[in-house]
Amino acid sequence: MKLYNFFRSSASYRVRIALNLKGLQYEHVPIHLRRDGGEQHLSTYKVLNPQEIIPTLEDDGRIVTQSLAIIEYLEERCPEPPLLPHDPADRALVRSMALAVACEIHPLQNLRVLNYLKDVLRHSEEETQAWGRHWITLGLTALEQIVQAVPERGNFCFGNTPTLADLSLVPQLYNARRFSCDLSACPTLVQIDATCRALPAFANAAPENQPDAE
Amino acid sequence: MKLYNFFRSSASYRVRIALNLKGLQYEHVPIHLRRDGGEQHLSTYKVLNPQEIIPTLEDDGRIVTQSLAIIEYLEERCPEPPLLPHDPADRALVRSMALAVACEIHPLQNLRVLNYLKDVLRHSEEETQAWGRHWITLGLTALEQIVQAVPERGNFCFGNTPTLADLSLVPQLYNARRFSCDLSACPTLVQIDATCRALPAFANAAPENQPDAE
């Protein structure tokens, strides 16, 4: 397997954790995102991923894009250890937590959106950072309430083993710290994040431990 | 089943199509989104959905949020007719198309983001509309290339029956027309959208056919 990814990309980070938890070896192919252009726009990469975003997984000649689709693919191909619970309503709860990050927070604070705010709408660095903090804080505060309400919670977002929800949470908290967000309203998420990051599968997927880290 | 939703919300529209395709009866509970406040912020609704967004499904006492998690839940509970293909790589492709809409397009053009652009960043109606058009056009142009490259395409995004990808596409094209987007770069998507909307399950889920339509 090859994973086209970038050390700092939180969507890439999610997939790296999944690969590590499932014990799957992969080749790390760095795609360098840059403020002005970037390798995701190269014609050789666009053939694999017309959205010009990362990550992209190549497995046995098949190309899979979108981090959550990649993780569901890995879950179906390599079911152990499971990243989703067994019961359909529980699976839906875990998926909804992951989507609360992937659909409501991350899309609003990624690089191309920040670039549009600066380059087209002429906002300052401070206004752009405040935009990012607003959406991250709003989304994580809601997620904190969702996680607190889970009766079966245990040490992770759901239960006592990492799920798709934790794979989405940890990279988003990494971003929250980059944006200097106030996380005092999210004590449960902060605790789960610390528990996760103590595990080798999460630690080895962290941005600072990637071969392309700056 | 109860579906808390709003006629014009495209995330709600996705779930209504899924329920119709699977022949599931449900109670339509309208949650009126408004420019200034809205029923999604009522304390009675926030208990069900701390994100204060729609839709929310209530099924046999269980609450499920996030449209794609709801549809995966319906797929697991009521597998026929399937909304995902059988092969894991094909399932990943269909899921990636749905996520290309749900993670890259829709989050950037929904009501609360447009409100922030107007109310906090003081942009005009025209600048806000241009923002929406930019992200919709960028995302749909990439999706057109992804769909064109599917060898097994048939009449829908994947194959000859509707999948999760079509359930995401049709509501997004509805939004694209509301934003007056130029869809000339997306002839395949426009054709698939027309094919879908001719089916009763899609037509009955359309915003204008909901009991709360204005």
The whole-angstrom separation of Cα A162 and Cα A202 is 10
Select from B51, B76, B149 the Cβ nearest to the Cβ of A88. Answer: B76
For residues B24-52, give the mean pLDDT.
89
* B134/A116 touch (CB, cutoff 8 Å), yes or no: yes
How would residue B190 be classed by pLDDT, with cut points 50, 70 and 90? very high
pLDDT, tens digit, 9 for 90 and up, residues A74-97: 999 999 999 999 999 999 999 999
Interface probe, candidates A1, A3, A59, A65, chain B, greatest B C-beta count within 10 A: A65
Give the residue from A180, A24, A18 showing the smallest Cα distance to A98.
Answer: A18
Q: Report whether pLDDT(A38) > 90.
A: no
* Cα A50-B171-A9 angle, rounded to 5 deg: 40
Q: Report whether pLDDT(A37) > 80.
A: no
Helix axes A164-178, A125-148, angle to 10 degrees: 150
Q: Is A59 on the interface with B (CB under 8 A)?
A: yes
The whole-angstrom separation of Cα B108 and Cα B181 is 15
| Category of A35 on φ-ψ map: left (φ > 0), alpha (ψ -120 to 50) or beta | alpha
Q: Which domains does chain B have, with CATH numbers?
A: 2-81 (3.40.30.10), 88-201 (1.20.1050.10)
Q: Is B59 on the interface with A (CB under 8 A)?
A: yes
pLDDT, tens digit, 9 for 90 and up, residues B43-73: 899 999 999 889 999 999 999 999 999 999 9
Q: Report whether pLDDT(B38) > 80.
A: yes
pLDDT, tens digit, 9 for 90 and up, residues A112-137: 999 999 999 999 999 999 999 999 99
Query: Tokens 């950037």 label which residue?
Result: B108
Q: Is A185 on the interface with B (CB under 8 A)?
A: no
CA distance B154 to chain A (A): 20
End-to-end CA distance of chain A: 24
pLDDT at B183: 98
Q: Report whether pLDDT(A36) > 80.
A: no
Select from B53, B88, B102 the Cβ nearest to the Cβ of A73. Answer: B88
**Pairing between β-strand A27-30 and β-strand A2-5 as defined by DSSP bridges:** parallel
Tokens at residue A213, please? 């880290």
Q: Report whether pLDDT(B35) > 90.
A: no
pLDDT at A33: 86
Which residues have CB under 8 Å from A15's CB, separation 6+? A3, A5, A55, A57, A67, A70, A71, A74
Radius of gyration (Cα) for chain B, nearest Å?
Answer: 17
Q: What is the DSSP letter of A207?
A: G
pLDDT at A55: 97
pLDDT at A151: 83
Tokens at residue A184, please? 């005092």
Q: Report whether pLDDT(B153) > 90.
A: no
Mean pLDDT of chain A: 96
pLDDT at B152: 74
Q: Is B118 on the interface with A (CB under 8 A)?
A: no
Which residues have CB under 8 Å from B214's CB, separation 6+? B7
The whole-angstrom separation of Cα A40 and Cα A58 is 15
pLDDT at B203: 98
Q: Report whether pLDDT(A211) > 80.
A: yes
Q: What is the DSSP letter of A123?
A: -
